[in-house]
Amino acid sequence: MKKFFSLFAFVLLAVAAKAERTYTLASPDGHLQTTVTVAETLTYDIVLDGRRIMEPSPLSMTLSDGTVWGDKAVVRKAVRGNHSGTVASPLYRSAEIEECYNSLTLRMKGNWAVEFRAYDDGIAYRFVSEAKSPFTVAAEEVSYRFPEDFTATVPYVRKGKDGDWNAQFFNSFENTYTVAKLSELNAGRLAFLPLMVDAGEGTKVCVTESDLCDYPGLYLYNSDGDTSLEGMFAPCPVHAEAGGYNRIQRVVKKYAPHIADIDGARTFPWRVAVVGSDTEVAASDLSYLLASPSKIADTSWIKPGKVAWDWWNAWNISGVDFRAGINTRTYEYYIDFAAANGIEYVILDDGWAVGRGEDLFQINPDVDLQHIVDYGRDKGVGIILWAGYMAFNRDLEKVCKHYSEMGVKGFKVDFMDHDDQQMVAFNHRAAEMAAKYHLVLDLHGTHKPAGLNRTWPNILNFEGVHGLEQMKWRTNAVDQMRYDATIPFIRQVAGPMDYTQGAMLNATRSNFRPCRSEPMSQGTRCHQLALYVVLESPLNMLCDSPTHYMREPECTEFIAAVPTVWDQTCILDGRVGEYIVTARRKGTTWYVGGITNWDARNLELDLSALGSGDCKVTLFRDGVNADRKATDYRKETFVARSGEPVKVSLAPGGGFAAVVEFVSGAAE
């Protein structure tokens, strides 16, 4: 009898072993690999140079009819592939990007598949539906199971009580980062993407998603106090009403019991783990590369550039003979400033329409909009209009057609504040309609780009960042300097962001205070200048008053000259939360920017990484008294000899910005 049971157990084990199938996929350079296991559940891991940095983690998708893609899956066919080439990216941080990966697609019984890609800097996967009939997705299992209690850097949703998921789904995707052990993360609080896990030995894992289209965005949380992160998605809204700020926000009153309605065959968003050192993660282009290619055949009409912005500085101009505010004379002043400095756009923010944006066809009687548009056109300055979500969405084509015919160049759309399936679909629909009428978009109050800037390049910028606008009302208890030194390694991995830098009133940590009418920045003047290089913003704001800029001609000249799209980008040095040095090239000219947190820092710049020979350097650096008076800076021009490092001292909260031009005929 004992022999019988032993034999039976052996048979069961043999059957189980036969049912389990494993597939290993390595990156092109061989350093990174994943093993996909198909058994009772579907799992994958991540191994870097032989060290497992993520344990086998389950992935599945549950349909509303009870079908689970991932449980007891049966592989019909395994297809391996590889790719090497370049991707044109004319409105990005590099004019073209190299793309090289190995792939594995497992086609499963039941008309679905899962696709994996291994890049040198990350592992990504996505589900694929091969079904022709419509269906609904009840849930998707996303899990990142780490082998140790690593330290995580996460941006929590700010709104809603702990555990009240529906309330937390209504959020602006703006918060500073919480740094904690995985086991210590708040079990009742969602974190939005991207976020980062420190896997030890100098390795970071930045988790994000790409090609997010007609599907809800991913949140992560730790529900069990272990070393895992689990996914959560907003359900489909069933009933929503206008509410919130000036009734221009959508307030969801009822959700469906599922997360997505699917028409049939399609691909789902990529789940992305960017893996590497601090600087390697900051340099990653995976969010862009994994997105769907541009849906706009002719992009020649899309014009990036800088924007003279009115709202942050509260229309505070001086030395004029008219009352400043939301009126025609004030906007003529902004246009004159923009034209004099080669700035491409002026934005009319909240207030140009009656009712604070509830109706975009009821124009403020103090604003002669057609005159302003014509005045700007005659001076080579385009006009962008702010628009609240509800009014813009309600009259989408009517608004785009009318204002395009008037001569308006684009819209800054605000207060979406969700990333459920309907709102994600709105971003695509808005981009498509805007493109139809040759309008650019700046999506404010929305989630990370998730590749949308590649698919719809007329969306020049996105918020989803705790930007400078927050400093109008946040106290110095908020460490914005640490935040600034963190976002290039995390939030920026997902794409460009409308941070709205350029403050001319700068303050040390002890001197900083919130002020809505005359706001200031934490950190030094050179920190603000450097942000125009460090941060990616194809549509980049000048947040401060034209009056202030005209009193600071050296700084204004630099800001006005900095490009907003680039031929090449290099991350020269940096550590998450501490400092970063970024170099970007346009034509033959390099711009180099560096920022630090509240720690003073001495840096040595190796410019040989940018080219050979001597070079002319125009440097803006913190002044010797910048630790006491944050506006103190020095501008100097010198020749840096080939092979000699450039030494720069950064004050607490400081920075530097440099223009580097290699001397013609310099030695190689």
Catalytic residues: 414, 469
Tokens encoding 523 = 């950190």
- The answer to whether the beta carbons of residues 374 and 347 sit under 8 Å apart is no
Task: Count H helices and E strands in the chain, helices first.
Answer: 14, 39
CA 396 to chain centre: 25
C-alpha span between 562 and 540 (Å, rounded): 10
DSSP state of 264: S
C-alpha span between 549 and 307 (Å, rounded): 13
Contacts of 564 (CB under 8 A, 6+ apart): 304, 305, 306, 537, 538, 539, 540
Determine how many CB atoms are found less than 10 A away from the CB of residue 125: 23
Tokens encoding 120 = 């040198």
Residue with tokens 């009193």: 551
- The answer to whether the beta carbons of residues 665 and 540 sit under 8 Å apart is no
Which residues share a beta bridge with 582?
571, 593
- The answer to whether the beta carbons of residues 198 and 486 sit under 8 Å apart is no
Determine how many CB atoms are found less than 10 A away from the CB of residue 14: 10
Contacts of 406 (CB under 8 A, 6+ apart): 369, 370, 373
DSSP state of 617: E
Q: Which helix (H) or strand (E) holds 47?
A: strand 42-48
Angle at 207 between CA 203 and CA 208, to 5 degrees: 145
C-alpha span between 214 and 455 (Å, rounded): 13
Residue with tokens 């991707």: 87
Nearest partner of 313 among 130, 518, 510, judged by Cα: 518
666 to 157, 322, 614, 642, 659: CA distances (angstroms): 52, 54, 6, 8, 17
172 to 117, 249, 416, 537, 557: CA distances (angstroms): 31, 11, 8, 19, 33
C-alpha span between 340 and 333 (Å, rounded): 11
C-alpha span between 595 and 584 (Å, rounded): 15
Tokens encoding 609 = 């990484």
